[in-house]
Structure 1
Amino acid sequence: MASSTPRRTVLAAALAAVAGTSVASTAPATAAPVGVGVGGRAPEPALVDNRFWVSFTDWRGGDHAGTRVVAGRRPGLVIGTPLGVTDYADPHAGATSAWEYASWTSPVHHSTVPATEVIASWNADTPPGTWIQIELRGTYNDAGATPWYVMGRWAAGDGDIRRTSVDGQSDGKSSIWTDTFAVDDAASGLRLDAYQLRLTLYRAPGTDLTPTVWRLGAMASDIPHRFTVPASTPCLARELAVPRYSQNTHVGQYPEYDNGGEAWCSPTSSQMIVEYWGRRPSAEDLSWVNPAFEDPQVCHAARFTFDHQYDGCGNWPFNAAYAATYPDMNAVVTRLRSLTELEALIRAGIPVITSQSFHKEELTGAGYGTSGHLMTVIGFTEDGDVIANDPASPSNEAVRRIYRRREWENIWLRTKRYDANGKVRSGTGGVCYIFWPDRPTPGQKRALRSLGLL
């Protein structure tokens, strides 16, 4: 099995039910094209808006309630004077504990793209005895407002709380699907025009411990319903030297984390990129792993991306947050609008983890079908075909694959697809993880800035 994605399968079914089963593709209005195209080409439509709070000025803004800003090369937010003590009943640990807390609420961000979906990301350090909660509240284009939605309760470790998303959140207009805010009926024209993020920092009472949050933000998007996307023109031949790890060599290992290796496509991909950037867990970090297991760092990544509510390792922001626990790393979840944008990142030396769904016949050479799978794009051939480290491979040596460009870009960028039974399901519409070091090269800065990530 390439991936374990029960929630994403449920989301696909829900969105398909809203859209119906017609093959007609109806594209909602999008913002006018902005920016400059790559290589003199016309710019892509403005379908994606990224907004992240990262600078000292960013953190000074907003509404502080017991938090303060720390300066330095990586400015961040910490607990100053706690507002008080509150109890948290952890549904996955079966225990209730008291925590001091403080919060920060961002300014209202008016998205350049009235959105059907929003995904938050954060980069933080949570020493033992601390954790954080991320929430989102927005306003619709009908002047209505959402409640505060919990986008995640997160800690780098698992000794204090159980890292979790929160199910069952909806206001009748929108819902939270594990890590994704989604308008329930995009065809109605309802969109999220603006949003705020609220960050609550927790620590053990009577201590001076604190989380430190360096990055908080979200990707808002309105990707048209589409079964196919226009073919792009190849413009790059380059391959990055990314470590290769197979999820399938871990089948049966630590089944308490998403049924073991057969479902570890996301943490396996994340670990490949963490190590590409020269970071990896220490021997002490890995001391809990059975020494008979090869590539123990993959087991480590699975454990520390695991979402106890989702019951899997495929929570997108949790994977990004895991990558950012390594020294001086940044990580976000976003969408790219085209394979051309992905080529620009590869040109700059930045590999990209992509999410896609397909049945076996749609991707020549894969040898499997999946309702949701993560793989790492590491380059392009002279013909423009995609070079991917695909963790759904029988061995580390077999991880490097070459996939046909036209097939691959379509399964990644589409938002509608047919499953093996002919039923309409959703596609991810270009979702990806992007990780990069805190001191990128000038070329990497340009590539990241063009996407609104710096």
Structure 2
Amino acid sequence: MPPLPRRSRHVPLLAAAVAVTLCAALPVPAGADEPAPSARRNLTFVAHTSFDTAVQLRSGTRSATKVAKGSVRLKSPKNTRAFSGRRYHVGTWTSPWVTESSDLSELIPSWQASTPGDSWIEVRARVRSAAQTVGSWDTMARWSSTDRWIKRSSLSGQDDDLARVNADTLQVPAGATGWQLRVKLMRRTGSKAQPSLDRVGAMASRVLPRTAGTPASKAGVAAGTVLDVPAYSQMTHRGHYPQWGNGGEAWCSPTSTAMVLQYYGVNPAAGQAFTPAGHADGIVDWTAQQVYDHGYRGTGNWAFNTAYAGTLLRSSHVTRLPDLAAAEPHILAGTPLIVSVAFGRGQLTGAPISATAGHLMVLVGFTPEGDVVVNDPAAPTNASVRRTYDRAQFENAWLGGSGGITYVLED
């Protein structure tokens, strides 16, 4: 019997300093008492399941695809579909059902793929209720590593049966206990392009809001460790490229992604040389282009950021972490984390912005006392990006704002 797909316990992050909040914690039902802190852990559920080895990928069902060299690839596809005035051969990989130990209210898929030439992938998801009602397939993304042939896009809406799509998140208002993914691989008819699916998975969760005044986690193994992540300000790009979000406040996610990729030394030469007239750090503009979601019309799609990073790194995914204690082993291992926060006026002392409904930054380490060291791209200059935040305030902004959403990018 093949081993189960790798599972890890984590918690999710909010991915954009834009007006739209892409991921919100579930409210306590009207009239319900706020659960005691000791009970809250039992009411919060997060699980990440990933199919990324050949054995795990072979556990899925395949049509006109094969598993070769550790990836799903097309195998003599016969079926075709029309899209954007062109015709494509289609192959499909469908995951087995993943049954969770608790009810989920959100599902956030993420993937790593290669799409050379005129090829692309489509990612779909569906859920199953505790009563064994199976929802319809909802299209989460049409994705390619380039916008040359198709426009990379999420498909919000699809309000039907059990779930609805909100950019990168499948929302399940009534809850579900199981889920399944389907990935379609497409290549232009007559082409020899070979798209591949290298990893796919999803983070299932049900997260309650964090109550004000919840004690911070205690400083742990990474106290005193700070990673040398290069600093980029998103604000120095204000007004750049309206077609990719217009820079400035809208670019916290690609700026954070660019910083981590620069830390690993994998930003591509083309991106490094992307220096539009009149400003520096063209790699930030380049990254914004690579992660831009034409459906959402922004650069804050969590899965699109990790999918782009995954074309350059060994591993990338979106998840949730329960607290800073869970983040510390990543920092100790040399892995900076991109985290999503939200806070009101006066709730994060020293922040370059007074308040935000959703903002991404890079967690780069901890002081010896356990306070949080970050690269906050909302700072006005590169020189002011490195910041230190109070541990309790930061943890409240992160867990209370997005439920702990995090991009884990590993070299």
- If the length of structure 2 is used for normalisation, what is the TM-score? 0.89
- Note if contact 1:26-1:226 (Cα within 8 Å) is conserved in structure 2: no
Query: 1:27 deviation in Å?
Result: 8.1
- Per-residue deviation, residues 35-87 of structure 1 (Å, max 9, x unmatched): xxxxxxxxxx872111111111112221110001112xxx1111111131111
- AA aligned to 2:166 is W
Query: Structure 1 residues 97 and 6, CA, compared in 2 at 3 Å: closer, same or farther?
Result: farther
The question of 1:276 aligning with 2:256 is answered no
Whole-angstrom CA distance in 1 between matches of 2:247 and 2:281: 14
Paired residue for 1:429?
Answer: 403
Where does 1:2-401 land on structure 2 (aligned, <5 Å)?
Answer: 4-8=17-21, 12=24, 19=29, 24-26=33-35, 47-71=45-69, 75-88=70-83, 95-184=84-173, 190-228=174-212, 229-235=214-220, 236-282=223-269, 284-285=270-271, 289-326=275-312, 328-368=313-353, 369-401=355-387
Whole-angstrom CA distance in 2 between matches of 1:29 and 1:140: 28
- Per-residue deviation, residues 226-285 of structure 1 (Å, max 9, x unmatched): 333442111122101101100011111112211223310000000111111121121x34
- AA aligned to 1:246 is S
Whole-angstrom CA distance in 2 between matches of 1:3 and 1:182: 18
Whole-angstrom CA distance in 1 between matches of 2:238 and 2:302: 21
Whole-angstrom CA distance in 2 between matches of 1:316 and 1:232: 26
- AA aligned to 1:134 is V
- AA aligned to 2:88 is W
Paired residue for 1:424?
Answer: none
- Aligned-residue sequence identity (percent) comes to 37
Between Structure 1 and Structure 2, how many residues are aligned?
A: 393
- If the length of structure 1 is used for normalisation, what is the TM-score? 0.81
- Note if contact 2:127-2:162 (Cα within 8 Å) is conserved in structure 1: no
- Note if contact 2:80-2:89 (Cα within 8 Å) is conserved in structure 1: yes
- Per-residue deviation, residues 88-145 of structure 1 (Å, max 9, x unmatched): 2xxxxxx432111110101111123421111000011111210001111110113222
SS class of match (2:219): coil
Whole-angstrom CA distance in 1 between matches of 2:16 and 2:208: 25
Whole-angstrom CA distance in 2 between matches of 1:131 and 1:146: 25
Paired residue for 2:4?
Answer: none
- Note if contact 2:364-2:374 (Cα within 8 Å) is conserved in structure 1: yes
Query: Structure 1 residues 296 and 117, CA, compared in 2 at 3 Å: closer, same or farther?
Result: same
- Note if contact 2:253-2:360 (Cα within 8 Å) is conserved in structure 1: yes
- AA aligned to 1:233 is K
- Note if contact 1:248-1:392 (Cα within 8 Å) is conserved in structure 2: yes
Whole-angstrom CA distance in 2 between matches of 1:367 and 1:280: 26
Query: 1:183 deviation in Å?
Result: 2.0
Whole-angstrom CA distance in 2 between matches of 1:103 and 1:216: 13
Equivalent residue in structure 2 for 1:411, among 391, 397, 400: 397
- Note if contact 2:315-2:409 (Cα within 8 Å) is conserved in structure 1: yes
- AA aligned to 1:259 is N
SS class of match (2:322): coil
Whole-angstrom CA distance in 2 between matches of 1:179 and 1:351: 22
Whole-angstrom CA distance in 1 between matches of 2:343 and 2:29: 19
Moved more, 362-371 or 263-272: 362-371
Whole-angstrom CA distance in 2 between matches of 1:28 and 1:115: 20
Query: Structure 1 residues 264 and 24, CA, compared in 2 at 3 Å: closer, same or farther?
Result: farther
- Note if contact 2:352-2:378 (Cα within 8 Å) is conserved in structure 1: no
Whole-angstrom CA distance in 2 between matches of 1:28 and 1:132: 43
- AA aligned to 2:383 is E
Moved more, 58-67 or 254-263: 254-263
In structure 2, stretches of 5+ residues that fail to align are 1-14
Whole-angstrom CA distance in 2 between matches of 1:384 and 1:28: 22
Whole-angstrom CA distance in 1 between matches of 2:347 and 2:101: 34
Whole-angstrom CA distance in 2 between matches of 1:217 and 1:194: 13
